[in-house]
Each structure stands twice: as structure tokens, then as C-alpha cells.
Amino acid sequence: MELSSPEWYENEVLVHRYLYYVLNEPIISDFEYDLIEREARAICPVDSVVQGIGSSLASSYSLDIAMDAASRLENISFLGGKLKW
């Protein structure tokens, strides 16, 4: 997946939504998330999932998104603790 492609932005938004809504463990600030989501909505197609709202239902996300989110959270924990905003 190419950095800054629509697919990359879609993945970033979904991973951060999963961390925020499902796990209640955001690893970036709301401001940073808003910047990513704004850019994603500008470059992703109108039928992309990023055009909708986040969900707290784990079943709303693919296994790949959940695994990516868990990996990022584990990396943050390994670096000395979870970040709180």
C-alpha cells in the first residue's frame, strides 16, 4: 500500500477508529485524527467507509484492521506505557 494513497488513508482512519471506539485506547490526539480523517475524506471515493462515521462494534471492522490496531497498541505499550490524551 502506497503511503498517502486513498487506500493508506482509509486504513489509517479505520485503525484509529478501532483504537478509539472499540478499544478505548487512542494513540494519537483528536486533532491528529481529525487531520487524517479530513484528508482521507478529500481523496477517498464517495463510497469509501471513511465517508461514514465510526462504530464501537468490533464486527464493523475487518480482522486486518483489528490486528493492525492491536499491533500499534502493543508497540506503544512496549515503548513505556500507553499514551493518554
Q: In this predicted structure, what is the pLDDT of residue 79?
A: 55
Q: How far apart are CA 21 and CA 42, in angstroms?
A: 22
The 3-state DSSP class for residue 22 equals: helix
> Which letter does DSSP use for residue 51 in this model?
G
Host domain of residue 24: 6-78
CATH number assigned to the domain comprising residue 18: 1.10.287
Structural domain includes residue 33: yes
Q: In this predicted structure, what is the pLDDT of residue 85?
A: 42
Structural domain includes residue 23: yes
What total of structural domains would you count in the chain?
1
Residue range 25-57, pLDDT digits in tens? 999 999 999 999 999 999 999 999 999 999 999
Q: In this predicted structure, what is the pLDDT of residue 2?
A: 78
Unique residue bearing C-alpha cell 497498541: 73
For the chain, the average pLDDT equals: 89
Structural domain includes residue 84: no
The torsion defined by the Cα of 57, 59, 61 and 65, in degrees rounded to 10, comes to: 110
Nearest to 11 by CA among 50, 41, 52: 50
Q: Which amino acid is at 73?
A: L
